[in-house]
Structure 1
Amino acid sequence: MIHQLLPFHPNSEELLSKTHLVMIQTNIFDCGGIAIGLYASHKIVDGLSRLTFLNSWAARARNESSKQVNPSFISSSVFPPDPSLSTYSHSNFHNHTKEKHNFVTSRFVFDHSALALLKIKAACSSTPIPSSIEVVMGLLSKSFINTTKVKYGGNKTPVLAPVVDLRSRSSPPLPPHSFGNIFCKTTLFVDDFNPELPLLVHQISDAIASIDGDFVEGIKGDDRLLKLIGPKKHLREKYSYNAESFPLSSVCRSGLYEADFGWGKPIWACLGSGDTDPYGVGNLVILMDTRSGEGIEAWVTIKEELMAIFEKNQELLAFASLNPSPLEI
């Protein structure tokens, strides 16, 4: 149903052939409600850039000049284009065969009380208390690892890939309204098919923490390709044809529910996920705030045959509601 509210279906061949930077569809319902469908090319902007655009547009509609932003288009000067990077495929961890898959999306909603309990379960005496984002990423990853074991019998290696925003991790930090694709994806190769949650959360936290100021400085230089892929090149080569990637991204705490065009803040903000894999991205997890700001809504897109196992994981369902009505969150 969400796809009908967008300018194009996410997997539309026509969309893939277009070069428009932004496309918008306004939907007005008989009840008087409004839904705004927004597409912005990922060749140009990331998720945080989209939200900056959306919230500034809404502030202009309300004539609130104090909340309008002047975006900073400095990403190409901070990270100059490097032709050598184009020779390394972003889909290196995905199955490179001609086999086609259908992908489906399910929503897993963690309320405030569930997050508090999950933090206790994931806590380790020797490490700081993990964040809500880290524990949700950890539990979803544990469920995915279990799913691949059930489906493939341990013959495929799960590769966790937390996505890290680089704006605040630069030294000095980049302006928060920097426009572009300013993020980096880390990688965790999983050999233990039954990991303990505290250990897995700790590994994810360490992977995210490794993207620090020194790392960001390193990928600005001439040896950026070595910095990005060199240390794990042998692992990439070993697993690239027999891996199941699980990228984990978050737009929590980034103003998802701040786009008030003059009639109040959104009842629900969501993503329009596809059901095929034209870009080679495949599996993908995106975390976002619930309307209250106290919970997390996880959109999990994976292969259809994996989802049939994943959404029945009892440890996951002990903390998350599966596909609840937006009015219930």
Structure 2
Amino acid sequence: MYNLSSSSLSKLKDRIVSTNPQIQNPSRIEVATALIHKCGVDVSMAKSGAFRPTVLFHVMNLRPPIPFNTIGNATCYFSTRAMSIDKTTLPNYVGELQKAKQQIRYELKDMNTKELALHAIEKIKEIVNIANEDVFDIYFCTSLCTFGSHKIDFGWGSPLRVTQVKHPTKNKFMFLDDPSGEGINVLITLTEADMLLFQNNKELLEFASPVVESSLLGSTLSLNVELSDVKSKL
């Protein structure tokens, strides 16, 4: 897991906008997505010595257009692609992501619930077809930012860390709010060989830092001891 602080995200936004003024008001998720995707492509090129077309599948919440109280995984995929190495710049990634978001919103805005479900299924079929073609390096990303995960309290106070259980899908990026609510933590799933290259990427380390777990482990151990003491007194 890596953390992009609020100041790092602002620095990243400024660099992208100054490089391409046509990029308007990029969000923190857009610039963070561009950075992590670009670093993933850098790893692929370092391994093979050549560029390989890349597609990034994004997961979007379908609430709205469907009601916010809808139960279940009401989500849909959309994608951004880079077909040549000159398209792997941070401004291009952000620009393509903004265009893709506008396009998917336009496609979905007049659909009813049944049509939305069928559209989501077709997007999943598209992923399967692209994977079977073996032309692209495929990445997946999703964001749980602004979901208020750090505000969940089961009676022990706010969590020190929010993450996801081990996920079998490689090349996956998941964005979550950090405890401050201003920065972003990103959980990255790569193969072991790819991670060895990824974690040394200079551009990544300029804006992101690894999340150190030792202090969190100490807090967890302390909590376990306190709970054990409580049980012994019952």
The Cα offsets for residues 225-253 of structure 1, whole Å up to 9 and x where unpaired, read as: 69935xx96xx559732332110100000
Letter in 1 for 2:181: G
Match among 26, 31, 45 for residue 135 of structure 1:
31
Q: Secondary structure at the match of 1:287?
A: strand
Tell me the CA shift for residue 164 of structure 1.
1.0
**2:205 alignment partner in structure 1:** 317
8 Å CA contact 2:131, 2:138 repeated in 1: no
Match among 41, 50, 54 for residue 158 of structure 1:
54
**2:178 alignment partner in structure 1:** 290
8 Å CA contact 1:219, 1:225 repeated in 2: no
**1:57 alignment partner in structure 2:** none
**2:15 alignment partner in structure 1:** 121
Structure 2 unaligned regions, length at least 5: 217-234
8 Å CA contact 2:75, 2:120 repeated in 1: no
Change (3 A) 1:129 1:266: same
Count, aligned residues: 211
Tell me the CA shift for residue 284 of structure 1.
0.9
Measured in 2, the distance between the counterparts of 1:117 and 1:239 equals 39
Q: Secondary structure at the match of 2:9?
A: helix
Measured in 2, the distance between the counterparts of 1:213 and 1:225 equals 13
8 Å CA contact 2:53, 2:82 repeated in 1: yes
Q: Secondary structure at the match of 1:285?
A: strand
Match among 192, 197, 213 for residue 84 of structure 2:
192
8 Å CA contact 1:218, 1:224 repeated in 2: no
Measured in 2, the distance between the counterparts of 1:136 and 1:269 equals 18
**1:110 alignment partner in structure 2:** 4
Change (3 A) 1:141 1:263: same
**1:83 alignment partner in structure 2:** none
8 Å CA contact 2:152, 2:159 repeated in 1: yes
Tell me the CA shift for residue 283 of structure 1.
2.0
**1:201 alignment partner in structure 2:** 94
Q: Secondary structure at the match of 1:220?
A: helix
The Cα offsets for residues 281-312 of structure 1, whole Å up to 9 and x where unpaired, read as: 33211000001101100000012221111111
TM-score (norm 1): 0.57
Q: Secondary structure at the match of 1:145?
A: helix
Q: Percent identity?
A: 26
Tell me the CA shift for residue 162 of structure 1.
1.4
Match among 249, 261, 264 for residue 154 of structure 2:
261
Structure 1 unaligned regions, length at least 5: 1-106
Measured in 2, the distance between the counterparts of 1:203 and 1:222 equals 23
8 Å CA contact 1:146, 1:193 repeated in 2: no
**1:303 alignment partner in structure 2:** 191
Tell me the CA shift for residue 265 of structure 1.
1.2
The Cα offsets for residues 120-159 of structure 1, whole Å up to 9 and x where unpaired, read as: 1122322321000110001001111111111123364322
The Cα offsets for residues 9-57 of structure 1, whole Å up to 9 and x where unpaired, read as: xxxxxxxxxxxxxxxxxxxxxxxxxxxxxxxxxxxxxxxxxxxxxxxxx
Match among 216, 220, 228 for residue 114 of structure 2:
220
The Cα offsets for residues 263-288 of structure 1, whole Å up to 9 and x where unpaired, read as: 321121111224xx4xxx33211000
Which of the pair is proportionally richer in helix? 2
